[in-house]
Amino acid sequence: MALRITPLFAFGSRRALRMIERNLLVYKHGWLMLFSGFFEPFFYLLSIGFGLGRLVGDVVGPGGQTIPYALFVAPALLAASSMNGAITESTFNFFFKLNYDKTFASILTTPMSPGDISLGELGWALIRGALYTIGFLVVMVLFGLARSPLILLTLPGALLIGFAFAAVGMAATSFMKTWQDFDLIQLVILPMFLFSGTFFPLDSLPEGLRIVVQLTPLYQGVDLLRGLTVGVIGPETVVHVAYLLVMGLVGLSIVSRRLDKLLLK
């Protein structure tokens, strides 16, 4: 099956920006809500990074250097929260808006197309993701976890993770029929969150399992951000970026083919 990558641009138009405008209007009423997503990685960092980290001590980080546990876990938490934010937005919230909210239905009676709406929603999710990431990076700097100027690149890195998961999440949602189907998503996301080298180095896993973990998208994201945070980049950085980019584009091409069928009945 030939993958249609081209519809990425055929699928939405500049009108997608109107969706972002709508979301800005909504958040004008409760702009504090905008920052809700910041607290998840922040609390994890406090409890696991610093709390548990005191018991763990130092661990071996990228490039074989020894780093404090908080520094090991912080970029992983950033990657995981980018994933969680993107998944929540592109699965539960997207499904609700598609089927119950009827907001999308009313927007479709205007010149806006399903592609415009999806692209706009994706864009909005990324904007929010960027805000959370900036907040978290400030916290890392304040706690003395910034070792390399490359840490600034974790911002686009986190956005790439968000993009990849949101696109695939939307594609998956386009096949969902009932709320029960979402249990499947949790079944995939939770083990990924716990075992993708997020909280402990991969060496502690048996060989076979290690390869499985290295193939998961969250591992790709965690390793990407961890390398950037500590300042170690190499060929694997390129692999991670390419992996996530392809994942997002494949997701988008599926969404673009499914959307009209979903929304225009």
Q: Is 264 in the site for other proteins (CB under 8 A)?
A: yes
Q: How far is it, in rounded angstroms, from Cα 109 to Cα 135?
A: 38
Q: Is 105 in the site for other proteins (CB under 8 A)?
A: yes
Q: Is 26 in the site for other proteins (CB under 8 A)?
A: yes
Residue placing its CB nearer to other proteins in the complex, 27 or 143 = 27
Contacting residue, 16, 107, 166, 255, with other proteins by CB under 8 A = 107
Please, what is the minimum distance in Å from the beta carbon of residue 178 to other proteins?
19
Q: Is 108 in the site for other proteins (CB under 8 A)?
A: yes
Residues in the chain: 265
Please, what is the minimum distance in Å from the beta carbon of residue 112 to other proteins?
5
- Part of the chain binding other proteins (CB under 8 A), chosen from 23-31, 51-59, 71-79, 227-235: 23-31
Contacting residue, 15, 210, 257, 258, with other proteins by CB under 8 A = 15
- Part of the chain binding other proteins (CB under 8 A), chosen from 34-42, 107-115, 200-208, 223-231: 107-115
Q: Is 265 in the site for other proteins (CB under 8 A)?
A: yes
Residue placing its CB nearer to other proteins in the complex, 63 or 111 = 111
Size of the site for other proteins (CB under 8 A): 21
Please, what is the minimum distance in Å from the beta carbon of residue 6 to other proteins?
19
What single string gives the DSSP state of each residue in 181-248? GHHHHHHHHHHHHHHTTTSS-GGGS-HHHHHHHHHSHHHHHHHHHHHHHHT---HHHHHHHHHHHHHH
Q: Is 102 in the site for other proteins (CB under 8 A)?
A: yes
Contacting residue, 16, 112, 167, 189, with other proteins by CB under 8 A = 112
Q: For 102, left (φ over 0), alpha (ψ -120 to 50), or beta?
A: left
Q: Tell me which residues touch other proteins (CB under 8 A).
A: 15, 18, 21-22, 25-26, 29, 101-103, 105-113, 264-265
